[in-house]
Amino acid sequence: MKRLRSNGIVWFLDDEALFPLVQGLKEGPASKRTHETLRGQGRNVFVKYFVEKGFLGMARNRLSPRGRREYLVGRRLSSLSIPTPRPLGYGLGKRGSFILQERIEATPFRTAFDEDSQREPLVAGLAALLDRLRRQRVRHNDLHLENIMVAEDGLRLVDLHKTRVKRVRFSRTDELANLTHALTMIYDRMTEGEKDLFFNNYGRRDIRPFVERGLWNLRHDWIESKKRRGFLPTSKLVVTKNCVCVRGREGAANGALLETIKADRKVRVARHEDHLRKTYRSRRRLKRAWQAHVALEYLEMDVVPRPLCLSKASLFESGYVAMEDLGGQGEELDRFLDREYDSMDFDRRRAFCDNLLAFFRSLFEKGVIHRDLKACNLFVLSSGFRLLDVEDIFFGAPTEEILKRMLVQLNTSVPGRIGKSLRVRFLIKLLEGFPFDRRRLLREVAKASRDREIVYEGVFGLKRESWQDCRRGSPSPPSQSH
């Protein structure tokens, strides 16, 4: 290895011929550009700069610079036949360090997975790579799918400065860390066949339940971190003294007041010219609503009215969330069914039911749960559905008790004349795939529903109905024919 110096940077290069490519590189005061491709001497070289900030960063740069760590790990992985861009050298500066690697033509795995219609080879290749890491006792520690590249000759592992090769024991924790980090971006969108293919090629079908539990925990931790940053400047948010705006939507909530839609002891909902404004009497509910909005923005789930900004509460003023106004584009589920159900034919009723099922499945797959799932908190649009009362959204696995409560709420807040067969079909299909005793859960939902009054907002106002007065009886458990 050759040791050379240029512009205050000490370079350690496998090939002295690389020096003309790097001798023009400098450490900028704020170096926004941290990677680039250098071309010359008949080769393409990828160089990445690790910027260190603060006292801890400076200490790390002196004791264990990230550029050198990535170089050494890259050499070790190559010796273990784990595919990664060939390391060519590293550089040490005062404010950071550099890594030099061969430049490969490749696409991030996540992009390839999203764009390729034939995903089985990708899934099988990912499983094989992860199996190789397990056998060689390699824990990557940042194995998201932007750090796995798809090249012509297979998959390559990149971004190695956090990677550790365990000398003796590769624990279940190490194994699950690799698996869950790699799968978290795509697992919800993998078909059951693709999941089977993955675990068959990985060679450990028994580990699947542990992986899925780990994915829930990982998602929960990720969401909680985004919620905690809901009042800080981020890639998604712009923060001023009294306001937090979704980036790109600044200044989109300045319209004049048109009308007050609702006002009670908890909230005031008002329509403005260019937005809907929900003012919260409780700061705790305001915080909860905004954090849920922010988490859904990061999840890129279009399942609630788009948030525009948060106005912070002050000593004398309550805070509010400004959001898109869905008025005129649809109506709440209970009112929609009261208006449209009788005129729907059999096929239209089935299609509407299936679309609602697909919406709920997309929520459950992402761990989005609504604590108050009355029909008035579901908004029907021509393009789909939206959840209202965002402050009642939380994130977690849909347990049996949670599902029971949600289904009872929904079942007792839609018009009683909706037929028993359609209700039962909806409940059965919604519970498909859950590891619960569906017949028992359906009996419990039916019993709890019968003990409650049906209450919903109809076209002409609030309606209260008893199951006995309905044209059709209460939902009951499915017969053997179902």
Task: Tell me the per-residue pLDDT of 69-128, one tens digit each, with 9 for 90 and over.
Answer: 999 999 999 999 999 999 999 999 988 899 999 998 999 999 999 988 889 999 999 999
Q: How confident is the model at residue 476 (pLDDT cuts 50, 70, 90)?
A: very low
pLDDT at 33: 52
Task: Tell me the per-residue pLDDT of 150-205, one tens digit each, with 9 for 90 and over.
Answer: 998 899 999 999 999 998 889 999 999 999 999 998 998 899 999 999 999 999 89
Contacts within 8 Å (CB) and 24+ apart, 311-320:
311/242, 311/243, 312/242, 312/243, 312/244, 313/280, 313/283, 313/286, 314/242, 318/268, 318/279, 318/280, 318/281, 318/286, 319/279, 319/280, 319/283, 319/286, 320/277, 320/278, 320/279, 320/280, 320/286
- Cα 176 to Cα 183: distance, rounded to the nearest angstrom: 10
Contacts within 8 Å (CB) and 24+ apart, 337-343:
337/375, 337/414, 337/415, 337/418, 338/415, 338/456, 338/458, 338/459, 338/463, 339/459, 341/415, 341/417, 341/418, 342/417
Of 176, 172, 180, 175, nearest to 216 (Cα)? 180
C-beta separation of 408 from 402 below 8 A: no
Q: How confident is the model at residue 320 (pLDDT cuts 50, 70, 90)?
A: very high
pLDDT for 335 beyond 80? yes
Average of pLDDT values for 408-425?
92
pLDDT at 396: 87
Neighbours of 438 (CB within 10 A): 16
Task: Tell me the per-residue pLDDT of 391-402, one tens digit each, with 9 for 90 and over.
Answer: 999 998 888 999
pLDDT at 132: 95
pLDDT for 30 beyond 90? no
Residues paired with residue 257 on neighbouring β-strands, in sequence order: 272
The chain-wide mean pLDDT, for the chain, equals 90
- Cα 269 to Cα 280: distance, rounded to the nearest angstrom: 9
Tokens coding 457? 């907002």
Neighbours of 315 (CB within 10 A): 4
pLDDT for 482 beyond 50? no
Task: Tell me the per-residue pLDDT of 199-239, one tens digit each, with 9 for 90 and over.
Answer: 999 998 999 999 999 998 888 898 999 999 999 999 899 99
pLDDT for 480 beyond 60? no
pLDDT at 29: 56
pLDDT at 479: 34
Summary count for the chain: helices (H), strands (E): 14, 25
Domains identified in the chain and CATH numbers: 2-102 (3.30.200), 107-228 (1.10.510.10), 237-323 (3.30.200), 330-469 (1.10.510.10)
- Greater confidence, 318 or 476? 318
How would DSSP label each residue in 61-91? HHHS-HHHHHHHHHHHHHHTT---PPEEEEE
